[in-house]
Amino acid sequence: MIHFAPSILSADFTQLQKDIDDVQRGGADYLHFDVMDGIFVPAISFGMPVLKCIAKKTELFLDVHLMIVEPERYLEEFIKDGADLVTVHLETLKEPEKVIKQIHDLGAKAGLAINPETPAEQIRPYLTMIDMALVMCVHPGFGEQAYLPSSDEKIAQIASWIREDGLYVDLEIDGGIKMDNVEKAVSLGANVIVAGSAVFHGDTVGNTERFLEKISKSGAQNLFCDRRS
Ligand code: DX5
Ligand code: ZN
């Protein structure tokens, strides 16, 4: 099953409710929420108070991507404030198993992300413990960057491990996803698609609809079935 997750990092914050309503109208089922701390990545974005407001006003699945050091310090608050899934970066963790368990114990799904320079092999041992693997297709920190071609191999590699081992793990891609490369990414095995600037710049409803058309044409099965529990 495929999920489409617009990243509100590229939304117009003076009309955030409208932008969220627009992606929902266009057919998205997830909302991607990028948290940046100015340490793990150069930029600072937004955090719990914004998530809390959004969670009260939307039915969309809240996919929270923590680009922060020591994410374990904030898990409880993000999950209490409405995160359905929390993704932490492998590069920030001393004891990944412990943090994954912490997310599950707090009642959320757990995702694990790797940066472009982190080899795919490093995430493999955790695939049996997590709900979602996230391959960063740009260096995290900003929207509107170009997709790194080296991501192709990583997506295909992780997708093949998931298939071969019969695991129930989603594979998310994030960064540089546009109308002209989304079909390829899905055909490589990604099933949770993040896009920011390509959704919120211009006609948000129309952009979302066009992404979903492309995704459905890519041969993806079971568009938007219920998420595996
Ligand atoms: C990058 C963020 C992305 C970003 C994607 O650090 O994690 O989610 O918003 O933006 P685009 O789709 O514009 O590359
Ligand atoms: Zn992200």
Q: Is the pLDDT of residue 226 over 90?
A: no
Above 70 in pLDDT, residue 227? no
Q: What atom in ligand 1 is closest to the CA of residue 176?
A: 14
C-alpha distance from residue 28 to each of 5, 128, 215, 217 (Å): 6, 27, 12, 16
Cα of 12 from ligand 1 centre, angstroms: 15
Ligand nearest to the CA of 42: 1
Query: For position 229, what pLDDT does the model report?
Result: 35
Q: Which CATH number fits domain 3-216: 3.30.565.10, 3.20.20.70, 3.40.1360.10, 3.40.50.1860?
A: 3.20.20.70
| Residue-level pLDDT at 225 | 41
Rounded to the nearest angstrom, the distance between the alpha carbon of 110 and the centre of ligand 2 is 14
Is the pTM higher than 0.85?
yes
CA–CA separation, 190 and 180 (whole Å) = 15
Domain ranges of the chain: 3-216
Task: Let me know if 174 is a catalytic residue.
Answer: yes
Residue 84 appears among annotated catalytic residues: no
- Is the pLDDT at 126 greater than 50? The verdict is yes
Which is catalytic among the residues 34, 37, 81, 131?
Answer: 34
Would the pLDDT of 158 be above 90? yes
Q: Enter the tokens of residue 69.
A: 């050091």
Please give the Cα distance from 46 to 33 (Å, whole number). Answer: 9
Q: Which two tokens stand for residue 194?
A: 């993040």
pLDDT band, residue 191 (cuts 50/70/90): very high
**What pLDDT does residue 204 have?**
98
Closest residue by CA, ligand 1 atom 4: 143
Instruction: Tell me the CA distances in angstroms from 225 to 3, 9, 171, one per residue in order.
Output: 9, 26, 15
Which residue lies with its CA nearest to atom 10 of ligand 1? 143
- pLDDT tier, 60 (very low <50, low <70, confident <90, very high otherwise): very high
Residue 221 has pLDDT above 60, yes or no: no
For residue 94, report the distance from its CA to the centre of ligand 1, in Å. Answer: 25
Q: What is the pLDDT of residue 219?
A: 65
Ligand 1 surroundings by CB, under 6 angstroms: 7, 9-10, 32, 34, 65, 138, 140-145, 174-177, 194-198
DSSP 3-state assignment of 229?
coil
Rg from Cα positions in the chain? 16
Instruction: Please report the pLDDT score of residue 218 as a whole number.
Output: 83
How many whole angstroms from 3 Cα to the centroid of ligand 2?
14
